[in-house]
Structure 1
Amino acid sequence: MNTFLLEIVTPERLVYSKQVNSLTVRGIEGALGILPGHIPFVTPLQVAPLSVKSDGVTISIAVHGGFVEVHKDKVTVLAESAELPVDIDLERAEAARERAERRLQTRNKQEDIDLGRAELALQRAVTRIKVSTGKGQQ
């Protein structure tokens, strides 16, 4: 069998469930390629697009943190949030990126708590933009 079941789940819903040929995710240690029969493991994910190849077509999905759990015939991505390209509002993502960049440029030392939030908001916005514009392939 040259496929495995991929499920992408958020606390709110099942975002994606399909037999796929391969998956590329960005874990804490870097990019990971997953093929059918991969050895089991669990690792945290970065805020980054993941690439799914199925039936000769590759799509990107915006994933905002969480974990990937790999089994021999099934992979589950447990994400804080995840968005398919068709679900992303590109104008809203670009506006969020601009707001986050402004916050990072005008930060004060007293706003250290907001600095982390602004950096995370920027990562999420950039991920959404890459997926929405088709530039999320790894």
Structure 2
Amino acid sequence: MADVTHLIKLSVGTDSVESLAAWQATPAAQGPDGCPRHVTRMWPRRSEAVLNGGSIYWVIKGLVQCRQRILRLDRVTGHDGVERCAIVLEPGLIRTYTAPRRPFQGWRYLAPSDAQGDLPEGRESEESLPPELAGALAEIGVL
């Protein structure tokens, strides 16, 4: 059986976990099955490990703030005729402890040992801290 591997991705243009959830609720962000998906140019070479319980960790405003379980990888063809990878996600975002993350392009693999833990039950519905404050607290190890 393959090890688990996660992906990490910047959520470009998103201001908060709530705005990412609102975007994913739109038809433009969903596949034919109604599940949210992120279409990317590259296919994960470690797809077996990603599909073995992996999640995509979303970086919003420079902080890892939430994750979603990856359900499957679908081949899709763009309007330009180029084949791409649709990362199909479980609906709903799971809030995580925050951690600062420098900008990067595309997605990256994330080892389970480096992944942020989920917020404890009861805290997942708390309003997000302003990104600057959450980042400062994460840097000193409080969040």
Give me the TM-score of the superposition, normalised by structure 2: 0.28
Query: Looking at CA atoms only, which structure, 1 or 2, has the larger radius of gyration?
Result: 1
Structure whose residues are more often helix by fraction: 1
- Relative contact order, higher structure (CA 8 A, sep 6+): 2
TM-score (norm 1): 0.29
